[in-house]
Amino acid sequence: MNKSRFVIVGIAVLVGVVYYFGFYTYFIKTEIHEELPMPAASAPDSPAPQMRTIAFGSFGEIDFVHKGSGQAKLIEIDGKTILRLENFTVTSGPDLYVYLSNSTKPTHEIKDLGNYINLGRLKATSGEQNYEIPQSAEGYRTAVIWCKQFGVLFSFAVME
């Protein structure tokens, strides 16, 4: 095999590996700006609509590659609880999910998340986004950005 053919095959293999494992996603940034859901309008005789912030915290850096910033808030609106990410940004990556955990010290080990609620795929790597919590959030005070494919913690925010 001549040198140029060897280089071409090497590049093709490298591109295949980058694509297969999703490493290209580290270079793709996405942005979303969801509005905060508003309380339903109340009838003239009923009490005023309710919205309150239950807890909030800030995202931080895990290591030199996996970083996040912005705030996570647990907000109750008309009896429903949502996790709201505001002024949020996180390192891009493959297969990112949002979890709500009862652990205040998550690591790169999934078991260190303790009990957690999977709120679904991360909608975007920056901006404002809302995630409805399908069950009681009592005791769940840590928003976690997790890569399912590689089992890697990207960032978290402990909310108080």
Query: What are the residue ranges spanned by the domains of the chain?
Result: 3-31+51-158
Q: Pick left, alpha or beta for residue 144 (phi over 0 → left; psi -120 to 50 → alpha; otherwise beta).
A: beta
CB 44 within 8 A of CB 71: no
Q: Which of 7-21, 46-60, 124-138: highest mean pLDDT? A: 124-138
DSSP state of 10: H
> Are the C-beta atoms of residues 149 and 95 closer than 8 Å to each other?
yes
Tell the CATH topology of 3-31+51-158.
Immunoglobulin-like (2.60.40)
Predicted confidence band of residue 87 (pLDDT cuts 50, 70, 90): very high
> Is residue 54 a contact partner of residue 74, using CB atoms and an 8 Å limit?
yes
| Whether pTM exceeds 0.85 | no
